[in-house]
Homo-oligomer: A and B are copies of this chain.
Amino acid sequence: MTQTQPSSGFQQIDREGLVQRVAKLLSKAIISGKLAPGARLSESVVARELGVSRAPVREAARLLESSGLVRSEPNRGFFVRQVSIKALNDLYELRLAIETAVVERLVQNWNDEIEEALSAQVAELHRVATEEADIFTQVEADMQFHRLMCTGSDNPKFLQVFEQVAIETEFSIMLIGQLYDDPTRIAETHEPILEALRARDATKAVSAIRYHISEAQRIVIDQFRLLEEGKTST
């Protein structure tokens, strides 16, 4: 809780380190496929490309390493992690473990503020599904729903883990988004969770999140398998 000056409505400017910006750029490049999986990411090349020195690039890479997007080998540098079917399965197993615990906590400390935020986010999901054509925006909105749940759990550690797997999660949601012809389906799949939470029914909430996640898991794996097959046969 950084206390905000009550005064004039100025907007905070930038105020985010170069390292964070580089990290964001890099992760976008990876999930969008510009940087091929397994590819070495050369510090000097990236640094030159972005017009910065190598130091911030190195730190950004270390950041991404802890979020599992890149892997580092001593004296050999950083490499883009390749997502495999197993890795995606593992990711969803982790998400299931975390988000199950999150909804259990959410039922306990449910309040108007959280209800408001989650309801608004489901509405937002519907809005972007109908008004926005951009897939990326829709994915962002989906992520945000889950992030809000983690935030509302009042356990920063859950949020921390979520953010750490966020990029892979985003990547996987992107796969889902490409699958659904009707984007409103994405919005709809979140409603049972919210309803169970509203009713403060722990059992129902847990089974709702279990269903939601394993459904997503199934879709992502299927979609990914297709992608892989298409790649190898070419």
Task: List residues of A whose CB falls within 8 A of some B CB.
Answer: 15-17, 55, 58-59, 62-63, 66-68, 74-75, 90-91, 93-94, 96-98, 100-101, 105, 155-158, 160-161, 164-165
A73: nearest residue on chain B (CB-CB)?
Answer: B2
A18: nearest residue on chain B (CB-CB)?
Answer: B74
Q: Please name all residues of chain B whose beta carbon is closer than 8 Å to the beta carbon of A67 when the two chains form the complex.
A: 66
Given known A-B contacts A59-B58, A93-B105, A15 and B156 have beta carbons under 8 A apart? no
Contact at A101–B97, with CB atoms within 8 Å?
yes
Q: Please name all residues of chain B whose beta carbon is closer than 8 Å to the beta carbon of A157 when the two chains form the complex.
A: 68, 90-91, 93-94, 165
Cα(A59)–Cα(B43), bound, Å: 15
Contact at A155–B94, with CB atoms within 8 Å?
yes
Contact at A156–B90, with CB atoms within 8 Å?
yes
Contact of A66 among B15, B58, B66 (CB under 8 A): B66
Give the number of copies in the complex: 2
Given known A-B contacts A90-B157, A94-B157, A155-B93, A16 and B59 have beta carbons under 8 A apart? no
Given known A-B contacts A62-B59, A66-B164, A93-B105, A74 and B158 have beta carbons under 8 A apart? no
Cα(A161)–Cα(B67), bound, Å: 10
Contact at A68–B160, with CB atoms within 8 Å?
yes
Cα(A163)–Cα(B226), bound, Å: 34
Q: Please name all residues of chain B whose beta carbon is closer than 8 Å to the beta carbon of A59 when the two chains form the complex.
A: 58-59, 62
Q: Please name all residues of chain B whose beta carbon is closer than 8 Å to the beta carbon of A161 when the two chains form the complex.
A: 94, 161, 164
Cα(A75)–Cα(B63), bound, Å: 17
Cα(A105)–Cα(B155), bound, Å: 25
Contact at A90–B155, with CB atoms within 8 Å?
yes
Min Cβ gap A153→B in Å is 9
Contact at B16–A74, with CB atoms within 8 Å?
yes
Cα(A96)–Cα(B93), bound, Å: 15
Cα(A68)–Cα(B158), bound, Å: 12
A19: nearest residue on chain B (CB-CB)?
Answer: B62
A165: nearest residue on chain B (CB-CB)?
Answer: B157
A16: nearest residue on chain B (CB-CB)?
Answer: B74
Q: Please name all residues of chain B whose beta carbon is closer than 8 Å to the beta carbon of A165 when the two chains form the complex.
A: 157
Q: Please name all residues of chain B whose beta carbon is closer than 8 Å to the beta carbon of A105 when the two chains form the complex.
A: 93
